[in-house]
Amino acid sequence: MMTSETPNQLNQNAIQVNNVLHRYKTTDDDKGLFIAQWRVQRGQQVFLHGESGSGKTTLLNLLAGVLTPNEGNIHILNQPFSTLKAHKRDKFRADHIGVVFQQFNLIPYLSVLKNIQLANHFSSTHLNNVEERAADYVQKLKLPANILHTAANALSIGQQQRVAIARALINKPELLLVDEPTSALDASAKDAFMRVLTEVCEAAGATLVFVSHDMYLRQFFPVSVEMSELLSQREDV
Ligand SMILES: Nc1ncnc2c1ncn2[C@@H]1O[C@H](COP(=O)(O)OP(=O)(O)OP(=O)(O)O)[C@@H](O)[C@H]1O
Protein backbone atom coordinates (compact mmCIF):
# COMPACT_ATOMS: atom_id res chain seq x y z
CA MET A 1 0.00 0.00 0.00
CA MET A 2 1.90 3.06 -1.22
CA THR A 3 0.72 6.58 -0.53
CA SER A 4 2.24 9.82 -1.72
CA GLU A 5 2.80 12.12 1.21
CA THR A 6 3.46 15.82 1.24
CA PRO A 7 6.11 17.04 3.71
CA ASN A 8 3.29 18.48 5.80
CA GLN A 9 1.59 15.09 6.08
CA LEU A 10 4.91 13.47 6.94
CA ASN A 11 5.28 15.83 9.86
CA GLN A 12 2.02 14.62 11.26
CA ASN A 13 3.02 10.98 11.51
CA ALA A 14 3.48 9.51 14.95
CA ILE A 15 4.41 6.12 13.48
CA GLN A 16 5.94 5.15 10.13
CA VAL A 17 6.65 1.49 9.52
CA ASN A 18 8.70 0.88 6.36
CA ASN A 19 9.28 -2.61 4.94
CA VAL A 20 9.66 -4.13 8.36
CA LEU A 21 10.48 -7.81 8.62
CA HIS A 22 10.76 -9.44 12.00
CA ARG A 23 11.53 -13.08 12.67
CA TYR A 24 12.05 -14.70 16.06
CA LYS A 25 14.10 -17.47 14.43
CA THR A 26 15.91 -17.51 11.15
CA THR A 27 14.60 -20.95 10.30
CA ASP A 28 12.39 -21.72 7.30
CA ASP A 29 9.42 -22.57 9.49
CA ASP A 30 9.33 -19.00 10.86
CA LYS A 31 7.93 -16.86 8.03
CA GLY A 32 8.08 -13.85 10.31
CA LEU A 33 6.04 -10.69 10.32
CA PHE A 34 6.33 -8.40 7.31
CA ILE A 35 4.68 -4.99 7.02
CA ALA A 36 5.43 -3.04 3.84
CA GLN A 37 4.04 0.26 5.08
CA TRP A 38 1.93 1.55 7.95
CA ARG A 39 1.32 5.12 9.05
CA VAL A 40 -0.41 6.42 12.17
CA GLN A 41 -1.03 10.14 12.34
CA ARG A 42 -0.24 12.16 15.45
CA GLY A 43 -3.15 12.33 17.87
CA GLN A 44 -4.93 9.33 16.35
CA GLN A 45 -6.41 6.62 18.57
CA VAL A 46 -6.08 3.25 16.88
CA PHE A 47 -7.63 -0.06 17.86
CA LEU A 48 -5.35 -2.86 16.62
CA HIS A 49 -6.96 -6.28 16.64
CA GLY A 50 -6.43 -9.72 15.17
CA GLU A 51 -6.60 -13.35 16.06
CA SER A 52 -4.31 -14.97 18.59
CA GLY A 53 -0.83 -15.43 17.16
CA SER A 54 -1.35 -12.85 14.39
CA GLY A 55 1.55 -10.74 15.68
CA LYS A 56 -0.10 -7.92 17.67
CA THR A 57 2.25 -8.12 20.63
CA THR A 58 5.25 -8.53 18.32
CA LEU A 59 4.28 -5.34 16.47
CA LEU A 60 3.76 -3.45 19.72
CA ASN A 61 7.18 -4.60 20.93
CA LEU A 62 8.69 -3.36 17.66
CA LEU A 63 6.96 0.02 18.10
CA ALA A 64 8.25 0.19 21.68
CA GLY A 65 11.76 -0.71 20.52
CA VAL A 66 11.86 -3.77 22.76
CA LEU A 67 12.34 -5.79 19.57
CA THR A 68 14.13 -4.52 16.47
CA PRO A 69 13.36 -5.51 12.88
CA ASN A 70 15.62 -7.84 10.91
CA GLU A 71 14.96 -5.60 7.91
CA GLY A 72 13.31 -2.24 7.27
CA ASN A 73 12.85 0.54 9.76
CA ILE A 74 10.41 2.27 12.08
CA HIS A 75 10.28 6.03 12.55
CA ILE A 76 8.54 7.40 15.61
CA LEU A 77 7.56 11.09 15.70
CA ASN A 78 9.43 11.50 12.40
CA GLN A 79 12.71 10.35 13.87
CA PRO A 80 14.57 7.13 13.07
CA PHE A 81 13.85 4.84 16.03
CA SER A 82 14.41 1.17 15.27
CA THR A 83 17.89 1.85 13.88
CA LEU A 84 19.09 3.67 17.02
CA LYS A 85 21.66 1.96 19.23
CA ALA A 86 20.02 0.23 22.20
CA HIS A 87 20.83 2.89 24.80
CA LYS A 88 19.58 5.71 22.55
CA ARG A 89 16.43 3.74 21.84
CA ASP A 90 15.88 3.26 25.58
CA LYS A 91 16.33 6.98 26.09
CA PHE A 92 13.96 7.87 23.25
CA ARG A 93 11.37 5.47 24.69
CA ALA A 94 11.70 6.96 28.18
CA ASP A 95 11.27 10.47 26.77
CA HIS A 96 8.51 9.98 24.20
CA ILE A 97 6.67 6.66 24.55
CA GLY A 98 4.40 5.39 27.30
CA VAL A 99 4.03 1.62 27.42
CA VAL A 100 1.43 -0.50 29.21
CA PHE A 101 2.05 -4.19 28.66
CA GLN A 102 0.02 -7.20 29.75
CA GLN A 103 1.97 -7.62 32.96
CA PHE A 104 1.87 -4.12 34.28
CA ASN A 105 5.47 -4.31 35.53
CA LEU A 106 4.82 -2.30 38.66
CA ILE A 107 7.48 -2.79 41.33
CA PRO A 108 5.42 -4.65 43.93
CA TYR A 109 6.94 -3.41 47.19
CA LEU A 110 7.08 0.26 46.17
CA SER A 111 4.17 2.64 46.64
CA VAL A 112 2.12 3.76 43.66
CA LEU A 113 3.73 7.21 43.89
CA LYS A 114 7.27 5.75 43.95
CA ASN A 115 6.43 3.59 40.91
CA ILE A 116 5.28 6.70 39.04
CA GLN A 117 8.26 8.79 40.23
CA LEU A 118 10.63 6.11 38.99
CA ALA A 119 9.23 6.42 35.46
CA ASN A 120 10.01 10.14 35.56
CA HIS A 121 13.46 9.52 37.00
CA PHE A 122 14.49 7.56 33.88
CA SER A 123 13.28 10.21 31.45
CA SER A 124 14.79 13.57 30.46
CA THR A 125 11.43 15.12 31.28
CA HIS A 126 12.43 16.01 34.83
CA LEU A 127 9.19 17.36 36.18
CA ASN A 128 9.13 19.16 39.49
CA ASN A 129 5.44 18.41 39.99
CA VAL A 130 5.32 14.61 39.59
CA GLU A 131 3.29 14.12 42.78
CA GLU A 132 0.78 16.76 41.70
CA ARG A 133 0.45 15.24 38.22
CA ALA A 134 0.18 11.74 39.71
CA ALA A 135 -2.63 12.92 42.02
CA ASP A 136 -4.38 14.47 39.03
CA TYR A 137 -4.24 11.19 37.05
CA VAL A 138 -5.40 9.24 40.12
CA GLN A 139 -8.46 11.46 40.20
CA LYS A 140 -9.06 11.32 36.43
CA LEU A 141 -8.69 7.55 36.43
CA LYS A 142 -11.19 7.35 39.30
CA LEU A 143 -8.81 5.78 41.79
CA PRO A 144 -8.99 6.56 45.53
CA ALA A 145 -6.75 9.52 46.45
CA ASN A 146 -4.86 7.59 49.16
CA ILE A 147 -3.76 4.97 46.63
CA LEU A 148 -0.58 6.97 45.92
CA HIS A 149 0.82 5.78 49.24
CA THR A 150 -0.32 2.16 48.89
CA ALA A 151 2.17 -0.54 47.89
CA ALA A 152 1.59 -1.78 44.34
CA ASN A 153 1.22 -5.38 45.55
CA ALA A 154 -1.86 -4.39 47.57
CA LEU A 155 -3.83 -3.28 44.50
CA SER A 156 -6.55 -5.12 42.62
CA ILE A 157 -5.88 -5.99 38.97
CA GLY A 158 -8.20 -3.18 37.82
CA GLN A 159 -6.35 -0.68 40.02
CA GLN A 160 -2.98 -1.91 38.74
CA GLN A 161 -4.18 -1.32 35.17
CA ARG A 162 -5.10 2.28 35.90
CA VAL A 163 -1.89 2.92 37.86
CA ALA A 164 0.08 1.53 34.89
CA ILE A 165 -1.73 4.03 32.65
CA ALA A 166 -0.93 6.90 35.05
CA ARG A 167 2.71 5.81 35.13
CA ALA A 168 2.85 5.58 31.34
CA LEU A 169 1.39 9.10 30.98
CA ILE A 170 3.44 10.87 33.64
CA ASN A 171 6.18 12.03 31.25
CA LYS A 172 3.62 13.44 28.80
CA PRO A 173 4.48 10.90 26.09
CA GLU A 174 3.48 11.74 22.53
CA LEU A 175 2.78 8.03 21.93
CA LEU A 176 1.04 5.54 24.23
CA LEU A 177 1.20 1.81 23.46
CA VAL A 178 -1.26 -0.38 25.34
CA ASP A 179 -1.48 -4.17 25.14
CA GLU A 180 -4.70 -5.96 26.10
CA PRO A 181 -5.30 -4.31 29.45
CA THR A 182 -8.96 -5.07 30.07
CA SER A 183 -9.10 -8.88 30.06
CA ALA A 184 -9.58 -9.04 33.82
CA LEU A 185 -12.40 -6.46 33.91
CA ASP A 186 -16.16 -7.00 33.80
CA ALA A 187 -18.25 -5.21 31.13
CA SER A 188 -19.14 -2.06 33.10
CA ALA A 189 -15.58 -1.65 34.42
CA LYS A 190 -14.31 -2.05 30.83
CA ASP A 191 -16.56 0.76 29.62
CA ALA A 192 -15.43 3.10 32.38
CA PHE A 193 -11.76 2.22 31.83
CA MET A 194 -11.96 2.74 28.07
CA ARG A 195 -13.73 6.08 28.36
CA VAL A 196 -11.20 7.38 30.85
CA LEU A 197 -8.24 6.12 28.83
CA THR A 198 -9.39 7.68 25.56
CA GLU A 199 -10.38 10.95 27.27
CA VAL A 200 -7.06 11.26 29.08
CA CYS A 201 -5.13 10.59 25.83
CA GLU A 202 -7.23 13.09 23.93
CA ALA A 203 -6.70 15.77 26.59
CA ALA A 204 -2.94 15.11 26.48
CA GLY A 205 -2.91 15.08 22.65
CA ALA A 206 -1.23 11.66 22.77
CA THR A 207 -1.36 9.14 19.93
CA LEU A 208 -2.76 5.84 21.20
CA VAL A 209 -2.22 2.36 19.79
CA PHE A 210 -4.37 -0.08 21.71
CA VAL A 211 -4.00 -3.82 21.07
CA SER A 212 -6.77 -6.27 21.85
CA HIS A 213 -8.61 -9.25 20.44
CA ASP A 214 -11.79 -8.12 22.25
CA MET A 215 -13.95 -6.70 19.44
CA TYR A 216 -16.30 -5.19 22.01
CA LEU A 217 -13.67 -2.50 22.61
CA ARG A 218 -13.61 -1.36 18.98
CA GLN A 219 -16.51 1.04 19.60
CA PHE A 220 -14.27 3.29 21.69
CA PHE A 221 -11.94 4.08 18.76
CA PRO A 222 -12.33 6.22 15.66
CA VAL A 223 -9.82 4.04 13.79
CA SER A 224 -9.64 0.28 13.80
CA VAL A 225 -7.00 -1.85 12.07
CA GLU A 226 -7.00 -5.62 11.59
CA MET A 227 -3.55 -7.25 11.79
CA SER A 228 -4.17 -9.18 8.57
CA GLU A 229 -4.67 -5.86 6.70
CA LEU A 230 -1.23 -4.71 7.80
CA LEU A 231 0.68 -7.84 6.94
CA SER A 232 2.11 -8.29 3.46
CA GLN A 233 3.34 -11.46 1.80
CA ARG A 234 6.97 -11.77 0.82
CA GLU A 235 7.96 -14.48 -1.57
CA ASP A 236 11.58 -14.56 -0.43
CA VAL A 237 11.06 -15.29 3.27
N1 LIG B 1 9.52 -14.95 22.08
C2 LIG B 1 9.09 -15.62 21.00
N3 LIG B 1 9.88 -16.53 20.40
C4 LIG B 1 9.48 -17.20 19.31
N5 LIG B 1 8.27 -17.02 18.72
C6 LIG B 1 7.44 -16.13 19.27
C7 LIG B 1 7.80 -15.39 20.44
N8 LIG B 1 6.75 -14.56 20.77
C9 LIG B 1 5.80 -14.79 19.84
N10 LIG B 1 6.19 -15.71 18.95
C11 LIG B 1 5.43 -16.19 17.79
O12 LIG B 1 5.15 -15.07 16.95
C13 LIG B 1 3.81 -15.15 16.45
C14 LIG B 1 3.05 -13.87 16.85
O15 LIG B 1 2.91 -13.85 18.26
P16 LIG B 1 2.30 -12.59 19.05
O17 LIG B 1 2.42 -12.85 20.51
O18 LIG B 1 2.90 -11.36 18.51
O19 LIG B 1 0.76 -12.67 18.58
P20 LIG B 1 -0.53 -11.96 19.21
O21 LIG B 1 -1.38 -11.56 18.05
O22 LIG B 1 -0.13 -10.90 20.17
O23 LIG B 1 -1.20 -13.18 20.01
P24 LIG B 1 -2.16 -13.16 21.32
O25 LIG B 1 -3.42 -12.45 20.92
O26 LIG B 1 -2.38 -14.63 21.57
O27 LIG B 1 -1.40 -12.48 22.41
C28 LIG B 1 3.21 -16.42 17.00
O29 LIG B 1 3.35 -17.42 16.01
C30 LIG B 1 4.07 -16.74 18.20
O31 LIG B 1 4.13 -18.12 18.43
CA atoms within 13 A of residue 99's CA, in its CB half-sphere: 22
pLDDT in tens, 68-82: 999 999 999 999 999
Atom number, ligand 1, closest to the C-alpha of residue 25: 4
Pocket lining: 58 vs ligand 1, CB cutoff 6 Å? yes
User: Tell me: the pLDDT tens digits for 130-165?
Assistant: 999 999 989 888 889 899 999 999 998 888 988 998
User: How high is the pLDDT of residue 2?
Assistant: 45
Prediction pTM value: 0.88
Domains of the chain, earliest start first: 43-73+84-226 (3.40.50.300)
Paired residues of 98 in beta bridges: 176
Question: Distance of CA 17 to CAs 3, 20, 53, 123, 191, Å?
Answer: 13, 6, 20, 25, 31
Tell me what the mean pLDDT of segment 169-183 comes to: 86
Distance from Cα 58 to the centre of ligand 1, integer Å: 6
Give the model confidence (pLDDT) of 202-228 as tens digits: 988 999 999 998 898 999 999 999 999
Does ligand 1 lie within 6 Å of residue 212's CB atom?
no
Q: Whose Cα sits closest to atom 11 in ligand 1?
A: 53
For the Cβ of 23 lying below 6 angstroms from any atom of ligand 1, the answer is no
C-alpha 78 – ligand 1 centre gap (Å): 28
User: Ligand 1 mean position to 129 CA, how many Å?
Assistant: 39
For 23, counting Cβ atoms within 10 Å of its Cβ (0-12 exposed, 13-18 middle, 19+ buried), the class is middle
Nearest to 62 by CA among 104, 31, 27, 34: 34
CA of 207 to the centre of ligand 1 (A): 24
Q: pLDDT tens across 103-125, in order?
A: 778 999 999 999 999 988 887 77
Q: What percent of the chain has pLDDT over 70?
A: 89
pLDDT, position 31:
77
Q: Is the ipTM reported for this complex over the cut 0.90?
A: yes
